[in-house]
Amino acid sequence: MTATDQPQMMPLRVTRNDQIADGIHLLEFRDTGGNPLPQFSAGAHITIRVPNGLLRKYSLCNDPAERDRYQVAVKREVTGRGGSSTLIDRAKPGDELYVAAPVNDFALPQRAQDFLFIAGGIGVTPIMAMIRQVQKEGKRFRLYYVTRSPETTAFIDELSKPEYKDKVVIHHDHGDPARSLDLKPVLAERKNREHLYCCGPRPLMEAVRDMTDHWSSTAVHFEAFSEADIHKATDRPFKVRLARSGKVVEVPADKTIMEVLREHSLDVPSSCETGTCGTCRTKLLAGQADHRDLVLAAHERADNIMICVSRAKTDEITIDR
């Protein structure tokens, strides 16, 4: 998405806003006239203009074969910018909100027959759509789902059904790192040419990335989901020198490099804007980056940067723009 691109929005009616776990709500949207909605595939997300005017992306969790509704699971992000809270608190059944057609940056490869899913917390949302699609296609999967407690586990009843007994492992760590699920045996080898899909808190995804460095890079897929993941309380401003023009721009603590470049009318290619797709990869020519993406391999980090999420460790960096 560039500075001039805005998603085409359509008015949809809120038909559900139900709490399905502590701090997590399931919201459902349908066409105001009862018409079929644009199709989507597992892994897709929609962009919603939430009641306070912010645009927020949420992964679809219902069966992609359903054309009459979109369902998303939303976690209240207390350290976010208010997108999730205003959606949970103010979107009532019968209200109309503007929603963009589905976009998929996390799609399943059509030829693959075996899948390994790893989900942390609300990161299970896109995985639910994937499970529904994979089962209908007669393909195989296994899911490892890590949460804090049964009370905070979305879709726990569905995933605890007998038919999932040999396919789904739900692990509660109760917030104790010593009780974390050991994924090393799970990821020790790639079985049956599996494709791995991981979504959850960034520490989980970084750990999975480190444990799969022996896998084919084309078989490992990540998606970040939290609006609170991009910025940290310790973030500080820094400068970016644009090598092609010699211009220097200031990046404040609460904005990304990409946001600042767009403010200066620079056309910046992007897609996921969470550091998981690789579209905004940019050459790093000088300075040291604070890498926050899940795309770059260790040997690529000295001279590349994902400008949608990564920042600078030095006071100034120079990029090939």
- pLDDT (tens digit, 9 = 90+) per residue, 246-265? 999 999 998 999 999 999 99
CB 139 within 8 A of CB 115: yes
The pTM (predicted TM-score) of the whole model is 0.83
Find the mean pLDDT for residues 196-213: 92
Q: Is the pLDDT at 72 greater than 80, yes or no?
A: yes
Give the alpha-carbon dihedral of 281, 8, 74, 307, to 10 degrees. 20
- pLDDT (tens digit, 9 = 90+) per residue, 102-131? 999 899 999 999 999 999 999 999 999 999
| DSSP states along 267-315 | ----SSSSSSS-TTEEEEEES-EE---SS--GGGTTSEEETTT-EESSS
In the chain the domains, ranked by start, together with CATH numbers, are 9-100 (2.40.30.10), 114-223 (3.40.50.80), 238-319 (3.10.20.30)
Q: Is the pLDDT at 314 greater than 80, yes or no?
A: yes
Tokens for 24, please give them: 């997590």
Give dist(CA 301, CA 138) in Å, integer: 39
